[in-house]
Structures are given as C-alpha cells and as structure tokens.
Amino acid sequence: MVSAQVLALVLAVLALPVLIVAEPELIKHIIVTDFHVFHDRLWKPSDRSRVEALSVAGAQGDRWRRVRAVVSPVFRSRKLSKMHALIDKLSNRMVNALDVMAKNEGQFDAVDTSERYVTEVIVACGFGTKSSALTDLDDPYLVNARTIFSASMFRFLCAQLIPTFLRHFLNIKSLTTAKEIDYFKNLLQHILTLRLNSGQKYTDFMGLLINARKEWDVTLTDNDSQTHYFISGDEEPSLSRQSSTEAKAGNPWLSDEEIVAQGVMLVGAGFGTTASTLAFMAYELALNPSVQQKLYDEINGAIDSDGEIPYDVLTRLPYLDAVLSETLRLHTPVPQLVRVAARDYKLGDTGITIPKGMTVEVPIYAIHRSPKYYPNPDQFEPDRFLQENKFNLIPYTYLPFGGGPRLCVGMRFAFLMIKVAMVMIIRKYRLSRTGNTESPLMGDQKFLSTKEDICQNCNVMGRT
C-alpha cells in the first residue's frame, strides 16, 4: 500500500506516463541512492545537438562521468577566487551603468541590466575575451546568448510535453538553436586553436580545461557529489579521489571538441539562470526594505580598511547567503527535475514499480512553495536559511540546482557573480518599488524568464 504521506502521482502527458515524486525520502532514492538507475535526463543523445551531447549538462553514461570529473575541479573555490578581481571590475562597470540610470530616470530594469552584466562576466571569465554588453545593446555575445536562452526554454517545455516521435516530426531535436550555437562554437574553436598554438597558460575556464589535460586526477562515483546543498559559506561539494575505472573510461581529459562544448554550454546554462536569479533578488529586496537594510548592515560591516570585501569574507556572509537561498526557493531556476528509469525499479516501500523508460519528475517549484516544508511559503523570509534555523529544513526539499551527482557544476560560479553584483549594488543604492512594480508576480513571471516586465522600473537611489 502507498502511504498517505507519499506524494507520488502518475500522470499522462500526451499518453506518456509520468511519475511525480515529491516525498523527500523518495527524492533521495531517485537522485542519490539509486542514481545509477536514474542518471539520464529526458532528452536522449539522438535528440541532442553534438554540442549538447558532449557537454557536462547533456552527456550521459561513461562520457558524463569522465567529463564531470574533469570539469568539476575548474569550479572549485580556489580557482574561482582568482577570478574575483575581474568579476569585481565588471561589477563596477554595471554600477557605472546604474549611475547613469539613477541620474536620469531614477529607475532600472533589473532583468536587462542583469543579463548585460552576466554576459560580460561569462565572456571574460569563460573565454578570456571582452564583451561590451553593458554599453552596447547590439553586442553580439549578448544578442546570441539571449536567443539561445529564450529558445532553450521553449524547447525544454517541448521536451516535457511532446513525445519523441512528434519532436522529430516537428524538427525539435535540440534544446538549443543551431545558428547561435554555431556562433559560440566557432568563436571558441578559434580561441582554442590560438591557445594551443601559443603554449601559454590562461586562468579562465577554457584555459583551466586545457590545463586539466595534465592535472586531471579526480574521479566521481554515484554517491560522491553533495547530495543536499544549502548555500552556506564556502563549502565545497565533495568529490572522491579513489580509483574509479568507470570515471576514467576513455582518455582522462577533454578533447578539443569537448572543451568547446563546455564553453558553449557555460553560456547556454549559465546566462539565463544567473541573470534571472540576480534580477529576482533585486526585485525581492525592492519589495522588502527591512531585509534590504539588514543586508546592507552586514555588507557595511564586512568592508576592510581598504574599502573592499575580500573573497574569503564575501563567500561567508550568512545573511547574503540567506537572501540568495530564499530568492532561489521562491524563484527556482528550473521548476522541475526530470529523469528516466534505465530499468524496472521498485520505489522504496511504496509498492510502486517504475517500468524501464518511464519519466520521473520531481516538482521542485511545488516543493519550494509547500506549506508542509516552508511556513508562509509565498513570503520572502531569508531568516529561514540562517544557521540557527536550518534544523527546520528537511533534506531534499530545497533543490534549486538539482542534487546528487548531477548537481549543477557551475553553481558556485553563479553564486559568485550574483554576490559580487548585489554587494556592489546595495553598498551604493537603495532599491524600492514603483507604481509599475508588479507584486505578486503573475503566471510565468514566477518562473525563470527574460520578460522585461518582471523587475522593470525598480527605483534606484544613491545612499547618503
């Protein structure tokens, strides 16, 4: 018999069975304990573009293990710390743009500004080149990144709702679009060729992946990754260094084509999620002045004698972590996590058998908004994520970046971009709502979106 406490429903989406699992202990089985059964996502390799199939986000099986083992160390705190100064510099460019807005209209579009800033950071830290997105609306990096993201969201929904045979008939065979993907692929291939010929070492992500050919020594087993991650300080998701023939299948490094694929997916996966989270964070702070003041006080108290906030201090600001965590709870980047059963599987003690090939969905958005796990779930209350309150948080009820071995590898990079930008903004400005600031958000504005009217027309006023 299925327990009354188990929320596990079978739905039919266009005649395709979907099992929705929302019980925390069962979620753990799906994404961690029995990850070997549910390691693949909904789109099969034949449904993906070559770039997607080679990337850590889209690879499957042994290829995924090998790519993940190489890519994960690139996003470790020690290496991210070396990019802090560059991100800080680009945040200053963003603030300069806000200065102009504050003097002219006194308002800013948080989505547009966030997308421009994130574009410049990804291009600089990812590929060692320069974007002018903050000052040029026609910047090619910005234009192509926006197109990739908007197309990806549409095709992601198609993956959820349209059977494979119909996707092929409609020629929807990829989460991305060829033209914009080719733009970044050709750019990165050119940069890679120049670097391989020069023999110089670079500290951006592409350079670190090239260097990893000589440094690779990390393996990953099914239960190694952080299984349940709350944003807290500078913790590192755990990686095993034990011998693993599974992770070392094939060459213990990335091919040129695989390096290029990781760079393309850094744009595809990192642009929209990071920019939207930063924009939603600004939106919530504009609507919650007491939270904004408390965050300002923490930031102001962390400034050193040189007027700066060092990397090791920035990554350990508890209230900043709590505000970011609560933003991600209310506005989760991906509303559901989807996996496909690799074989017939008995789901815990529920009496349910999941047949091979069946889709399993974890409704992240619904869990994050459930009063069962979060009192006053629609209220923005960062204190729920402070250390003294974390005992109230139930494992596997907070999954903004997924969980288990497929936890987003670029999560820490996204956090750093968001924290640096928000600290820079709050140090200098007060954010407040205007008559045009919508609250509560309606419909698809609650989800990941690039709609201009999500956070448009927030007031931005200089602090005295």
Nearest to 93 by CA among 66, 124, 64, 49: 124
Whether 325 contacts 374, CB under 8 Å: no
Whether 19 contacts 10, CB under 8 Å: yes
State the Cα torsion 443-416-206-243 to the nearest 10°: -100
Q: Using the 8-state DSSP alphabet, how is residue 338 labeled?
A: E
Write out the DSSP string of 380-425. --GGGGSGGGGGGPPTTS--BTB-GGGS-TTHHHHHHHHHHHHHHH
Whether 97 contacts 134, CB under 8 Å: yes
Q: Which amino acid is at 93?
A: R
Residue 323 CA to residue 317 CA, distance in Å, equals 10
Residue 278, CA atoms < 13 Å, CB-side half-sphere:
33
Pairing of strands 359-362, 8-13: unpaired
Residue 378 CA to residue 326 CA, distance in Å, equals 11
Residue 360 CA to residue 29 CA, distance in Å, equals 12
Residue 356 CA to residue 343 CA, distance in Å, equals 4
Token code pair at residue 369: 């908004």
Token code pair at residue 455: 């956070």
Residue 55 CA to residue 57 CA, distance in Å, equals 5
408 assigned ligand-binding residue: yes
Across-strand partners of 114? none
Which residue numbers belong to the known binding site for heme?
408
Which residue numbers belong to the known binding site?
408
